[in-house]
Structure 1
Amino acid sequence: MRIIEQLESEVRGYVRSFPVVFDTAKGSYLYDEQGNEYIDFFSGAGTLNYGHNNPIISKALLKYIERDGIIHGLDKATVAKVAFLQKFYDTILSPRNFEYKVQFTGPTGTNATETALKLARMIKRRSNVIAFTNGYHGLTMGSLAVTGNTFYRDESYGIRNNSAFMPYDGYFGPDVDTIEYFRRFLEDSSSGVDLPAAVILETVQAEGGINVASDEWLRRLERLCREFDILLIVDDIQVGNGRTGTFFSFERAGITPDMVTLSKSIGGGLPLSLLLMRPELDQWKPGEHTGTFRGNNLAFVAAVESLSAYWENDDLTEAVKYKGEIIETELKAIAKKYPELNGKVRGVGMIWGLEMPRNGFTSEVSKEAFENGVIIEIAGADDQVLKFLPSLTIEETILREGLGIIDQAIGNLLTRKREKRSGNTQQLATEAV
């Protein structure tokens, strides 16, 4: 790790949480250079829905490279791109009756966000965009303006312009209707909130703490946007690609966004980012929005294989539902087992959170779990949520083993804390005597 500390920027993050040098990976396991094994409940922050080095994808990539297939092609036509577009239309768009044009943006999710915001503003000739409390959409300047967490925001960045925040579903608790709250701002010409070009949201806020919008809330939001001529943008970068069970996270609500951002697992583990838009919104002039890496041919190859292997039928959706129920059941059992944590469980599909309000406790659990062979990250405004994000293809036995390690980690930490408190009490009593 010495060369990392010597040369890599202080901005590095995950290497601090998981301070080993990783060497290989397969399925739901990572291995460090000493050969130690770790169950991966992190999945590259949602990039590895199909696991590490999925053999179906790896085989296709090796074959493509061996035949000298195009690696970099800007936005030129390639066999790999044609195959991806056809497969994506046939397997994903057409069966769902979605009519979207596809724009390839830069390689990361924030590129898709930036593109969507730019296009919405250009079309509507309005600059304001509404985002939601606890939302996360990326950290480049436009994306940062619609990201809520103050850890990432600084007044010196100048990112407050052209954005405003509204309360997400449940933000004020179950008794406050946040759609009506939003409506009031739109109806009042003196509210100080300009009519927005677009609304952007995640149907499940991942980094924000695993906050799940209800189906009815999403439907009412869509109707509100239609009523006020506002474009609806769904950020499906982390919770799309099957994470909630269906390919798109918004399918459960029966809504049709004007734009959808996709990245992470759409590339089968390789960099790829897309913006889907209703055809009439595709108002770009040729070359008006570009990027050197806006079409990753290796990712096209990987995407075709993952779509072919996992989305030709409902098997993966059913598997996500089954394993999601296992996670939910086990997390609720953990919350009940340790009532002193005041734990709350929420999620859908295979993205779940265990909220433990005790200050800093989730970080301790993540560290304890890592020392015992599980990689898991934390989320939420105060890092108060343990975030469960295993690959969708994880074997049930591995999933249950990992959940057992988390349970044990929590129990071990609480036991040590009780013993420490007891020891301190005895010491104080002795000193008093």
Structure 2
Amino acid sequence: MRQLLADKISGNQVGIWLLAAEHLRLGSWDLLCAWAQASGQTIWPRMALHLVHEAALCVNGVRKDRSLTQKGFELVNGLPFVPTDFAIHQLLASHSVAEAQALQVALGKIRRASGHFQGRLLGIDPHRIKSSTKRQMRRHRFDANQQALKMSQCFFCLDLDSSQPLCFTLASAARTVTQATPELLHLSRQILNPRPDQTPLVVADSEHHSIELLDAVHLDTPFELLVPMRSPKPDPDALLPERFQPRWAGYATAKEAFHPQKSRSLEPYYRFIQRSGERPEDYEYDCFLATADRNEVEALALHYPQRWRVEEFFKFNQALGWHRTGTLNLNIRYGQMTMALLAQAAIHQMRQRLGQPFSHWDATHLAREIFGSLEGDIRVKDDTILVTFYNAPQAQQLRQHYENLPGKLRQEGIEPIVPWLYGFQLDFRFR
């Protein structure tokens, strides 16, 4: 690698080097070394970093056909080569699901401490992708009129105020939402460690309306859960006009204690009913079930609609590696998707630093315009690797945040030496 740097490199994938600065701020290297269970002098954490940057580039297909080599990409990982598919497969297969989850928890704690999210309002949602596997497996359908298809599934927990992910879990297609959600909330609890007086609210869709799940959340976690009821229209007594409190034109709400059958909870749950329409013949009702008493107007009109930010998150970021199926070996898939989660954290930090227009670019746009197409060269001067960009978009904006990077990092209290680049510092120039 030192010889390659001495010879200088020119290419159009040097934009990925901008993420190195965010990795230093985020502490990514220590996380990868802990996951790989290897020292920083070995190859394994660098191969994991390769996976992180590969996710940031939103690349698909066979690794040897991607032409990532000789363009400035492999050196940002501290490697003089692009690892083969077999080597990556061996690396991921050698680490367990528990190790990937431990990395998610550690990353989540860092992100919370860095102010990426507060964890007051959470959204949980299954993310299913059509699979072409030949294996026998449970099939899913999105509605009654659709043919059931083989799908892989993962379950995400997002902070809805910031639209940032806390963690995710994976499972076979046979696992239900009721079975998968407690594990997801257990990871979220480790990340947030909420105080008793700061109970986070979790909102979910009607697929999560299960008495077993409601009991598990209420009795075994520090969270509150709000879900739509699958049978939206309650008994006629609950719909009497005097039970409803008008809130504004065409909107009224009612709240009542509710004791589900077969519930293990000795305390009541609460049914929130919202009524839309001005005239009785136009009334429409929607019912929700909450595990704790709270202001129903705030819950239904303010908090629950934010659940759609989960869909916006997937649309914005799924190209990092969450939009396609892969192997059904959970060790490999967990590791791969967790590296994408680390890439998303670094990219979010970069977006927040740069502001518009970068903050409005989705993962594919950012990969196309910045990480995978910027022309530049890489060379060494004394103890510093200098990356020079030519004709970069919004160059003045980038220069403000990345030129004289060692000095900027020291002002933030961060050591500017890049550990996976063998003790070199990193700086940028924009021409």
Q: TM class, shorter-chain normalised?
A: under 0.3
Q: What is the TM-score when the length of structure 1 is the normalising length?
A: 0.25
- Larger strand fraction of residues: 2
Bigger radius of gyration, 1 or 2? 2
Q: What is the TM-score when the length of structure 2 is the normalising length?
A: 0.25
